[in-house]
Amino acid sequence: MLPTIALGPLHLSTYVLAYGVAFFVGGTLAFRGLLRAGDPPRWTAEGLGLTILAGVIGAFAAPAALALLFGVRPVPPLLHGGSTIFGGMLGGGLAGLGYCRWRRISYLGYVFDLGVVPLPLAQAIGRLGCFGAGCCYGKPTQSWLGMNLPGEGGVWAVRYPTQLMSSACDLLIFLLLAALQRHGITRKGVPGRWPFPGFLFLFYGALYCSKRFALEFLRGDGAVVVPPFTTAQVLSVVGLALVLSALLWNATRFRRLTTSRQ
């Protein structure tokens, strides 16, 4: 494990470094993708910057809120883990929605479809930082998947490499979304082959929540709140229910609109 990388007198946290690379890569690709919406570049930069900032704040504020709500153990130090993607999604999503509303951008679904594709790639890179820092570790196992890795308190054991497994899943989600975007969304506000604008964004949400729920069974750091489920699994179920409801509602609504125009 490499919690820090030494470059002469300079010592860099692998967690911070990986997340820095993730923000740069994800932000750059998101900016390029959002430019396809045809809005002024300044609007795109402002909205994306606000979304990322709100996402970071939400990611680190949410664990503290959950600790108070569910009474789980204290949150790890800021630079050694202790963030949650659910808080980041909520904070960033609300900020992006608010900015689009402020700018009176009517094609919200199209914008969110363009912006979401690089997100799982950034997550895949960020999970490598978790692997280096030793957080988000897996349960001990005798499976062939096991690797000798540290857990809480630096205790080494043969564990599921949940950080690498999560990173691989996120990368697969990114490749799938990129392929679907390439062959689906074609014009501003027009979903192409998709049922409605915003479908790709909601599809990502369904994939991520499903992945997180399944992998949580292999993680060794989750706090159980509704036995045998952890906080992340409860949030995944809630998120998946909301996403599926939104998918069904929008598909029905868009189908009715399409029928009425014919």
pLDDT digits (tens, 9 = 90+) for 51-72: 999 998 888 787 666 666 655 5
What are the φ and ψ backbone dihedral angles of 141, each rounded to 5 degrees?
A: -155, 160
Cα–Cα dist 52/68, whole Å: 25
Cα–Cα dist 256/262, whole Å: 10
pLDDT top residue among 121 and 82: 121
pLDDT digits (tens, 9 = 90+) for 22-47: 999 999 999 999 998 889 999 999 99
pLDDT top residue among 6 and 222: 222
What are the φ and ψ backbone dihedral angles of 133, each rounded to 5 degrees?
A: -80, -20
What confidence score (pLDDT) does residue 137 get?
93
What confidence score (pLDDT) does residue 260 get?
64
pLDDT digits (tens, 9 = 90+) for 233-252: 999 999 999 999 999 998 88
What confidence score (pLDDT) does residue 151 get?
84
Mean pLDDT of the chain: 85
Residue 81 scores a pLDDT above 50: no
What confidence score (pLDDT) does residue 75 get?
46
What confidence score (pLDDT) does residue 253 get?
83
Q: Name the helix (H) or strand (E) containing 157.
A: strand 156-159
Cα–Cα dist 23/26, whole Å: 5
Cα–Cα dist 80/196, whole Å: 40
Q: Tally Cβ neighbours within 10 Å of residue 22.
A: 21
Question: What's the CA dihedral at 135, 136, 139, 145 to 10 degrees?
Answer: -100
The confidence band for 76, taking pLDDT boundaries of 50, 70 and 90, is: very low
What confidence score (pLDDT) does residue 236 get?
94
How many domains does one find in the chain?
1
Q: Which domain holds residue 101?
A: 4-261
Q: Tally Cβ neighbours within 10 Å of residue 41.
A: 10
pLDDT digits (tens, 9 = 90+) for 136-152: 999 999 999 999 999 87
What confidence score (pLDDT) does residue 5 get?
73
What confidence score (pLDDT) does residue 144 get?
93
Nearest-5° angle of CA 204, CA 207, CA 213?
135
What confidence score (pLDDT) does residue 138 get?
95
pLDDT digits (tens, 9 = 90+) for 174-218: 999 999 888 765 455 454 566 788 899 999 999 999 999 999 999
Contact 15, 132 (CB under 8 A): yes
What confidence score (pLDDT) does residue 28 get?
96
Question: Quick one: what percent of the chain has pLDDT higher than 70?
Answer: 85
